[in-house]
Amino acid sequence: MSESPLKVTMKGNEAVRVPAYFISKHEGFVGSIKTFIEDFVVTEIDINGQKVKTAQVMQTAGCASSEETQMNAESKENLYCSGSQDADVTSDWEAGSDTPLPALGSFDLDVILGPSVSEDLEQFVMTLREKRPSGPELSLGSFADKHQRANVHRAVRHRFPFLLTITIQPEIRVREDPDYRELARLVREEEAEDFFRFIDAKVGGSSYTFGPDDSKEHRTAVHHFLNRRFGKLVETKSFSSQGRTSISVRLREHGKPKKRTAEERKDEDIYTAFTLCKENLETLEAISYMAAALGVLPSDFTYAGIKDKRAITYQSMVVKKVSPQRLKEKAAEFEKRGMRLSQICSVGEPLKLGRLQGNHFDLVVRNLRPHGASDEHFSGADVHGRLAALIKEAVENRRGFVNYYGPQRFGSGQSVLSDQVGLTLLKEDMVSAVRLFLSPEESDDPPSLAKRHFLQTGNAKESLALMPLSKPRERLMLRALNRYGTGPDGCVQAWLSLPHSMRVFYPHAYCSRVWNDAAAHRLSTMGLGVRQGDLVWTQTGQKRTEDTGETACPQIHVVTCEEEQAGVYSLEHVLLPMPGNSVKYPENAMRTWYQERLAGDGLAECRFRVSSLKLNLPGCYRPLLAIPHNLSYQLRRAAFSHGAKKQESVTESPTLSLNFDLDSSCYATICLREIMKCET
């Protein structure tokens, strides 16, 4: 791509706070998207380049019929953009949205047990914490279905690893695990909880390390307890580091918990792949419903990427511990909830996050007109010819678009955006981060009332009672604040109550904001050419990270003066770094910009680690430009009557159908914005 003399155009928009720098000069047009659900159809493209709704099941779900197929799939995995979210479809992750968390490890117990029993369980746990009596039990009720009982056992054990769940069919009771109580006398309670979660995870070969302990006598007592209680399951050893001694526990590769039956072991090895078509549902909302119906945890489902709610979407999934036959039996029930399952088959492993090449979009843009033209002054015979010329010019532009993160990344429409929460977390101000997270909207809807009550009173228990069940993130945090307090330590525990994927989302949102602003600054100050000191990728060195879709290549090339003059690289080769502790910055004016921007945000000395929350941000590289592939379009004319009587006027409302592919982590709405030259 040669440099154009065209100046970069900017249209600011404070509502979405995404820069709108355009790299092409066509006029564009106005229109509306997502008028109807069927106007926005997203189809995942698997690692073999096949659309999942038309591909053979072997391709979509990794059902390898031969070793060669398996090896081909694995070798291709690293060649493609493998972002965990199809960037335009990450509205699931907006701060304060109604969407469940990505990879939530458990159900909301209010949903499983009912609010009353869940509250009784919370009170039971608080009593154990405060008085530590011996031998009390609490009944959770009766559950006739064995899958429902299994679901209750898993969910309670995950939420409270220090409890034993006991079935006296069909009743389930809970009491404190005496082994946990004994371990909690030897180590800190937080360590005891983490250790029991580690044991329950059953990941062979994994390890857990207790905090430093300089007393040999005390370490011996811990060793004796672990070997007596978990000797068939774990190996323990002491090791020294920097003058301190700690105990490390390793889960044996073939160790199995004593209580697991042969049937349970058989279920553990079952993986079933399928293609999910959902309509007007979040990906994780669909997973939560399917998990509850099947008696498994949401974390038993794996997928390549998150898809949008306001759309019809097709994507590959794999569920653990559910046979193909059982999944087929539930298909009719799922269809009533807007989910259609197809291409169901057995596979040998879960689906890896990011295991996709990209996404195909089938979009319809309605209410088309030129910029500056109103509906009443732009109708009839003028429509088709004028619009056809504008659309042809816009769509046939082959320069691509600036690869901005879309407003979904930051929680568009929220009073406090995700990147603001992320910045506060990077500053390690946990109390302020919690208050930002729980900031209400201006409305008086139930979630806002609950948040407002917490900010005004600090009473987490009352706020939890007010918070709707559809807000799992807020409920998890309020529950932790009620348990641990609202001070700095309690707020750390509140953040730790969220899964790692959710905690790290907020700092990533901040880094995405910096990337967007860096891209806008780079284009406005340095133009559309490749400059000395820019970072570029080469075909042989490009690689994408599995969890973000950005380039993470250890051999980033820095453009030389000679290469700039010779025009060796084009703008589509240029990368900009996402801030982190392992990235290289451009060796030109952009390096200074990054330094000044981070310093201005109070992060001049930031190491992009938040140890208390177990967060580490190494950073990555994102291409400055994105280019749609296989783009086609069709302009249609549709007539609508303005009344019930035939003699009343009829207005022709043209629609535009657009079909194209994008690499993973690229936003279709940002692509449309470049085409239309307006906010979509």
Which residues are identified as catalytic? 308
DSSP string, 319-360: EES--HHHHHHHHHHHHTTTEEEEEEEEESSPPPTT---EEE
Residue 89: what pLDDT? 39
What is the token pair recorded at 4?
């154009």
pLDDT one-digit tens code per residue, 248-280: 888 876 544 444 444 444 555 789 999 999 998
Residues of the chain with pLDDT under 70: 1-17, 54-108, 110-111, 129-135, 147, 242, 253-268, 374-384, 412-415, 539-554, 638-652, 680
Tokens 């690689």 sit on residue: 543
DSSP assigned state of 224: H
Q: Measured between alpha carbons, how far is 617 from 263 in angstroms, rounded to an integer?
A: 41
pLDDT one-digit tens code per residue, 199-238: 877 777 778 888 888 888 899 999 999 988 888 788 898 8
> Which residues 6+ apart lie within 8 Å of 469 measured at CB?
108, 110, 111, 115, 475
Q: What is the dihedral of CA 664, 670, 676, 680, to 10 degrees?
A: 120
What is the CB neighbour count within 10 angstroms for residue 658?
21
Residue 383: what pLDDT? 59
**Closest-CA residue to 19 (of 361, 391, 523):** 523
Residue 316: what pLDDT? 96
Q: Are 674 and 372 contacting, i.e. CB atoms less than 8 angstroms apart? A: no
Q: Are 515 and 622 contacting, i.e. CB atoms less than 8 angstroms apart? A: yes
Residue 680: what pLDDT? 67
What is the CB neighbour count within 10 angstroms for residue 629?
11
Residue 258: what pLDDT? 46
Residue 195: what pLDDT? 87
C-alpha distances out from residue 327 to 293, 318, 486, 608, Å: 10, 11, 43, 43
Tokens 């926005």 sit on residue: 40
Q: Is the peptide bond before 100 cis (omega within 30 degrees of 0)?
A: no
> Hey, is 590 helix, strand or coil?
helix
Residue 13: what pLDDT? 38
Residue 66: what pLDDT? 32
Q: Measured between alpha carbons, how far is 622 from 512 in angstroms, rounded to an integer?
A: 10
What is the token pair recorded at 271?
């993986």
